[in-house]
Amino acid sequence: MSKAPEVKQIEKRINQHGHELVDHYAWMRDKNWKKFISGDLDFDNPEVKTALDAENAYTDALMKDTKDTQKIIFDELLSRIKEDDSTYPEKRGGDYYYYVREEQGKNYAILCRKKGNLDAKEEIFFDINKEAEGKKLYIFGPAQVSRDSHYLAYCYNLTGSMERTLKVRDLTTGKDFDWEIGNLNGSFTWIDNENLYFIERDETARGKNIYKINVKKGPSSKELVFEKPDEYNSMFMGLGTTNDREYFVVSMSSGSTEALFVSKKGTDKFDFFALGENDVNFEVDHYKEHFYVLTNKDGADDYKVMQVPVNDWSQGSWKEYIAETKDECLTSIEIYNDYLVLEKKNNHLALTQIDVCHLPSKKTQTLKMPSEAYDLSFMGAWDNTSTKVRVHYNSPIEPSQVLELDLQSMGLKLLKQKEVPNFDSSQYEVKREFAKARDGAEVPCTIVYKKGTKLNGENKAFVYAYGSYGIGMPAFFRSSVFSLIDRGFVFCVAHIRGGDDKGYNWYLQGKMRNKMNTFNDFIDCCEHLVERKYTSKKKIAINGGSAGGMLMGAVTNLRPDLFGSVVADVAFVDVINTISDDSLPLTPPEWEEWGNPITNKEDFEYIKQYSPYDNVEAKEYPPMLYNSGISDEQVTYWEPAKMVAKLRALKTDDNPVLLHMKMHAGHAGASKKYEGLEEIAFKYAFILKYT
């Protein structure tokens, strides 16, 4: 099938705030789409499935001549993975050392432990490969072992949706209890060694109730302990604990609003702790007679730490413990023994550092790394009384290292260096440069290329970014991207506004009615690469997923002349229609990220200027590949399907626009390791063919 499918058009006119929108492809939203989320592909309108099948057939036909390339790249990707590998063991309760193994030829990890010492006999307590046998997709997790190492509580999903089913395994027998509980959001925690709290989803999929259950008694012991107040119905719920497990914390959030409820261990009573509006956030931990709260309340955009008595949570009792420091944004806190560990971002360099504050004396020391660009993250320890914790370090050309940090001396000890076969870091160069945005902001760019590459504008480039929800893109090691770098590509991660790469204000500058900064930053980063002669126009391949897929659609509408090819994964592109539909489970929380186009004309008009689907025009576009999954409830399948149909109908060139719709996957794509590598190889083959 070499001819592109002709998707039929059924005109649907939408009048909103004095504007008329015409949607010719709204019919592609099947009435039974919610069944797809659970894996039941019972199409109400068979023409929808016919259209999707035709798209996949066309994609297969155009990519058929890349099969050999895909196989070569797949073999390369696999060659840079040590297939027989394991994580560094961690000692936990019951005198067990826990670790995770991978074996050659197996798609999933194997969970193991040894009792007493590392020379003891290995005990495999959960082999995900066995659980996934005969299943096209198996998503494992989250999972938690009870503190006494007697039970494993775990969640799984078979469709790719956000829904999770909870089961519990008795690790002394290796058998699961004969019950399971479905329709959960995956957030749960052990209360003690026999009882769990878990969150049940409601019809909006955002979470509604917290239940307590005794794992031995099963569902008959299910007891409601917390019901989300009606005023927070638009919020997503999460459940956690303080590091010492003396308090349980329920967090509810939706865009710019967050609410916290806290329960003292043993009470089953969750009391209101704090409400943050207008982008105010909280993170809480506990030490002796106080809570320590990381927050940006009262205008502390770079965050501060407040000390709050456990017996008086009123706002008047909150005292500043660590003041806000401009140019350094605090991002996370955890308490071990007498030490408060703080992760923070250097707002200029967009790099992470770790501060360790001795609580009795307030003496503070800083851990930072010497590399030009790197990723440093705090892993912690199982035992909250320990003074030795783990940190994770890597850089674009340095594979993962697990390090032990001594909180008392600040000394570092290497525990495990990730082995990457067929890779020599000395062959590559890393640069951290700052692109000048059109409004004067300095946008960090992490650039990787092979040593000896001539910067003469002749190279192809591969640029990746996300830029939404305050999620930054660390400068971490990606073994896969070297299949492009070794073929002469310059790889760049653009740390654009909308993420928190340069602190919380960097996020706010790419949110709501500042969203155009996100797209302009990306374009300006690509222009920077051209000006610095890393590459040139039409030689730039770009990629992003989810909200990063929206980025791909928006920048391609704005500057189609700049890019050689575009890959958009699970792309949020039908922005106006999606967040104007409050019947969709994820829509109300989105209003606090993008604006509410239903009630606010100014929000509508601002979003309309960048919504990718609403800005497709009759002009030339580069080759484009849209990857998606039919069971995706975060970005529903019809968004990329409609986008591809509209692009193909309006564009004035002969460049291909492809839709690759996985019929047994959701937002995260493949769950099997080797299938995931095949997806990367497919993506890279498209880039190599069309850039």
User: How many other C-beta atoms are found inside a 10 Å radius of the C-beta of residue 229?
Assistant: 12
> What does the alpha-carbon distance between residue 139 and residue 274 come to, in Å, rounded to a whole number?
34
Catalytic residues: 546, 632, 667
Tell which phi-psi region holds residue 141, choosing left (phi > 0), alpha (psi between -120 and 50) or beta: left
Contact 533, 456 (CB under 8 A): yes
Residue 109 phi, psi (nearest 5): -80, 165
> What does the alpha-carbon distance between residue 400 and residue 476 come to, in Å, rounded to a whole number?
8
Q: Are strands 428-436 and 442-450 parallel, antiparallel or unpaired?
A: antiparallel
| Residue the block writes with tokens 């996100």 | 518
Q: Which two tokens stand for residue 42?
A: 């019972």
What lies within 8 Å, CB to CB, of 158 at 6+ separation is 39, 135, 137, 138, 139
287 vs 157, 322, 341, CA distance in Å? Answer: 36, 15, 12
Q: Which residue, among 662, 650, 661, has the nearest Cα to 24 in the 3D structure?
A: 650
User: How many other C-beta atoms are found inside a 10 Å radius of the C-beta of residue 37?
Assistant: 20
Contact 642, 576 (CB under 8 A): no
Task: Lay out the sheet containing 304-309: strands in order across.
Answer: 282-287, 290-295, 304-309, 319-322
- 292-331 burial code (b ≥16 CB/10 A, e <16): bbbbbbeebbbbbbbbbeeeebeeeebeebbebeeebbbb
Contact 569, 553 (CB under 8 A): no
* Radius of gyration for the alpha carbons in the chain, expressed in angstroms and rounded: 25
Contact 278, 300 (CB under 8 A): no
What lies within 8 Å, CB to CB, of 369 at 6+ separation is 351, 376, 393
SS3 691: coil
619 vs 140, 278, 505, 622, 649, CA distance in Å? Answer: 44, 40, 36, 10, 11
